Amino acid sequence: MIPNGCLVFEDESFLDSTVAKMNALRKSGQFCDVRLQVCGHELMAHRAVLACCSPYLFEVFNSEAEPQGGISLVKFDDLNPEAVEILLNYAYTAQLKAERDLVRSVYSAAKKLKMERVKQICGDYLLSKMDCQSAIAYRNFASSMSDGRLLGKIDGYIQEHLLDISEKEDFLKLPRLKLEVMLEENLNLPSNGKLYSKVISWVQRSLWESGEPLEKLMDEVQTLYYSADHKLHDGRAVEEAEVSGSEDDHIQFVQQKKAPRESLQKQPSAASTSSSPNGQPNKHEWKYIASEKTNNSTYLCLAVLRGVLCVISLHGRSSPHSSPSTTPCLQKSRSLEASPDELTDRLLKPMHYARSGLGTAELDGKLIAAGGYNREECLRTVECYDPKKDCWTFIAPMRTPRARFQMAVLMGQLYVMGGSNGHSDELSCGEMYDPRADEWTRVPELRTNRCNAGVCTLHNRLLVVGGSDPCGQKGLKNCDSFDPVTKTWTSCAPLNIRRHQAAVCELDGFVYVIGGAESWNCLNSVERFNPENNTWTLVSPMNVARRGAGVAVHEGKLFVVGGFDGSRALSCVEVYDPARNEWRMLGSMTTARSNAGVAVLNGVVCAVGGFDGNDFLNTMEAYDPETNEWSACVEALAELEE
């Protein structure tokens, strides 16, 4: 065909023929100008081809002096020659063919050569072949490769299949920490997530104070004491009556500080470790992965303790000792007149996982709690609370683990945008949940990567407001609108003040952005968006400056719940009346909560999860406007529904 007098011809067979011939030339060593020495094996190739597919080799070739004899020499002492040959074939033919037992070696070689696409393909293949038998081995491999994406997916699988995995050989070979926990009289152990948050804090404290290696704790069964003030103590400290109430506050995030003892820097000798970017074990990593309650008093957990993948076995039993004199005792109140069993039955059921920085929304009369983090571990699991049954069940997990995001309902579907996945502080990806299909699908990405942004709906559109910029904790003024029909993003007027961790919601056709922080300075200012003239206007400020607060609309007013004031988690609550443009304080929650989820469930304002300054929470409480009180009892929700 000759349009405009130009000859145009496409030879569909040329490319395949040329590629096949070039690979044949490589294998016969013809016209090759690079030698790869891989553990004593020599492989010939062409620099131009390898430089096109391997950024690592491009850098090597680009930085080297003129090679002797015109042939470059590159040595690898830590790669599998068969895996490198597979990558060479891929470089010449675009076909990746590897036996199952070679896939991990191909992944390792692709990581070294910075061939990211091959890494992803190998990782996805491993995930497709993973079962309960291989899950621990695959996790060890992903950890050694420092692949956060792969680790997140494997940990999600482990969370769903822990009991089955716990019966397999690899799991049984893991180092094991055995704990016997004595309970204060009439006291029960907390739920799994909260319990292991306390356990990890105790392990940190023990290693911090003693300077002994982790293996020392595993030599014998450790006796602990769970006291009436909900703290976990060393059994020896109980016997000596030396329990300190402030100790947990200091030790909660000890992994983020430099250890004061040289011995804390020792290399763990256990085999299964998490890794740092250079492939060496990350000795400072503390990570809760999954746990199950195996019977009424026995728990099983998989966690990373100071870089070591470990099993924690925990058994609770009644304490033979009386409460230490220095341990605060529970004071009796109206809510404690019932027997412990009756009290437990009356409390609102907690979530399966403790969560902070989660997304919450009401959907079809049920409360949805998605994602969040627990001791820096971002979750992808999603739980659904049914107030009629007072129970939490799991629905389809999100495609991406994420925390520090907000969730909104648009046209009967849930939307989440941005946030953090624990490895990248700011995400641009979003997803939508269809309750009829029970599945999440991707939505077009944000224009700006952002974490801690506010999300709400307005006139059948999704608004994403403020957040953290990709370079740090500087707040953003950005406001973007998403049309679910055209699936496009457009920009709205920017905020007057940069904000991240602000509470955002719609009321009477206006969008309110409440508090948050500019850099790390907490704000009490409030802005209102008018879509008719595309402007933000400052309205009356809150009484308390706060970031990480929750917000919900109830009876035409804004309820702002908890948060963080720069020094502590808050339990205080205030309400905004738009007709009077004024804020007033309400009764405080029973528990301080920052980065909690807040939603109106069947006409009742509920708060769930969050962080109280010491522990990540899985509990829920509800507000009773008649008494101006919050309660964690089932009756508080049931009575208001009627």
Between strands 573-577 and 582-586, the pairing is antiparallel
What is the C-alpha separation between 121 and 137, in angstroms, rounded? 18
pLDDT for residue 549 is more than 80? yes
Task: Report pLDDT digits (tens) over 406-424.
Answer: 999 999 999 999 898 877 5
CA distance 399 to 431: 8
Q: Which is nearest to 452 in space by CA: 498, 521, 499, 497?
A: 499
Question: Is 43:85 a contact under the CB 8 Å cutoff?
Answer: yes
Q: Report the alpha-carbon distance of residue 569 to residue 563 in Å, rounded.
A: 6
Residues in the chain: 642
Residues 6+ apart with CB under 8 A from 541: 524, 525, 526, 583
Average pLDDT over residues 394-399: 93
At residue 203, φ and ψ (nearest 5 deg) are -60, -45
Closest CA to 595 of 572, 574, 612, 576: 612
Please report the pLDDT score of residue 246 as a whole number: 34
How far apart CA 491 and CA 500 sit, in angstroms, is 18
The larger pLDDT score, comparing residue 384 to residue 227, is at 384
CA angle 543, 544, 548 (to 5 degrees): 135
Question: Tokens 């909560």 correspond to what residue?
Answer: 593
CA distance 548 to 593: 9
Adjacent-strand bridge partners of 461: 458
Question: Helix 103-112 and helix 81-93: axis angle, to 10°?
Answer: 70
Q: Which amino acid is located at 289 in the chain?
A: I
Instruction: Tell me what pLDDT residue 318 has.
Output: 66
**Rounded Cα–Cα distance for residues 8 and 17 (Å):** 20
596 vs 283, more confident:
596
Going by C-beta distance under 8 Å and a sequence separation of 6 or more, which residues neighbour residue 187? 226, 228, 340
**Range 365-374 burial, b when 16+ CB lie within 10 A, else e:** ebbbbbbbbb
Q: What is the mean pLDDT of residues 285-301?
A: 82
Give bridge partners of residue 573 from the DSSP assignment: 561, 586
Mean per-residue pLDDT of the chain: 83
Reduced DSSP (H G I as helix, E B as strand, rest coil) percent helix, strand, coil of the chain, to 5: 25, 30, 40
Confidence of residue 298 (pLDDT cuts 50, 70, 90): confident
Structure tokens at 164: 């089955």
Residue 182's beta-bridge partner residues? 225, 317
Better-predicted residue by pLDDT, 322 or 579: 579
Between 244-248, 271-275, 313-317, the lowest mean confidence (pLDDT) is in: 244-248
Residue 325 phi, psi (nearest 5): -65, -25
Collapsing DSSP to helix, strand or coil, 312 comes out as strand
CA distances (Å), origin 523, targets 41, 377, 564: 63, 27, 10
Higher pLDDT, residue 439 or 209: 439
Give the Cα separation of 138 and 145 in Å (integer).
11
Q: What is the pLDDT of residues 442-459, one digit of tens each?
A: 999 988 888 899 999 999
Give the up-direction half-sphere exposure of residue 303: CA atoms within 13 A in the CB hemisphere: 32
Give the β-pairing of 373-374 and 377-378: antiparallel
Q: HEC profile for 345-398?
A: HHECCCCCCCCECCEEEEECCEEEEECCEECCEECCCEEEEECCCCEEEEECCC
Of 63-72, 185-194, 496-505, 616-625, the poorest mean pLDDT is in 185-194
Write the pLDDT tens digit of every residue in 468-494: 876 655 789 999 999 999 999 999 999
Strand pairing class (488-491; 366-370): unpaired
What is residue 282's predicted lDDT score, i.e. its pLDDT? 54
Do the Cβ atoms of 332 and 199 come closer than 8 Å?
no
Phi (first) and psi of residue 124, to 5 degrees: -65, -35
Place of tokens 């982790």: 214
Instruction: Compare 280 and 377 and report the one with higher pLDDT.
Output: 377
Which residues are CB-contacts of 29 (< 8 A; sequence separation ≥ 6)?
44
Longest dimension (CA), the chain: 99
Higher per-residue confidence, 428 vs 154:
154
The pLDDT of residue 252 is above 60: no
For residue 510, pLDDT over 70 is answered with: yes
Q: Which domains does the chain have, with CATH numbers?
A: 18-129 (3.30.710.10), 171-240+247-256+270-321 (no CATH), 359-641 (2.120.10.80)
For the chain, the distance separating the N- and C-terminal CA atoms, rounded to the nearest angstrom, is: 78
Give pLDDT, residue 473: 57
| Averaged pLDDT, 142-157 | 91
Query: φ and ψ at 369, to 5 degrees?
Result: -125, 115
Q: Report the pLDDT averaged over residues 218-244.
A: 67
Q: Give the helix/strand (H/E) hosting 82.
A: helix 81-93
CA gyration radius for the chain? 28
Distance, in Å, from the CA atom of 444 to the CA atom of 61, rounded to the nearest integer, reads 38
Amino acid at 344: T
Is the pLDDT reported for residue 153 higher than 80? yes
**Least confident residue range of 251-255, 397-401, 527-531:** 251-255
DSSP code per residue over 246-297: SHHHHHTTGGGS--SSGGGGPPP-SS-B-B-TTSSB-TT--EEEEEEE-SSS
Q: Of all helices (H) and strands (E), which one includes residue 416?
A: strand 413-417
The pLDDT of residue 232 is 78
What are the tokens at 69? 């004899």
Token pair listed for 576: 């905004």
Most confident of 184-188, 198-202, 259-263, 433-437: 433-437
The fraction of the chain above a pLDDT of 90, given in percent, is 52
The pLDDT-based confidence of 585 (bands split at 50, 70, 90) is: very high
Mean pLDDT of the 563-585 span: 95
Look at residue 288 in the predicted model and tell me its pLDDT: 86
pLDDT of residue 76: 93
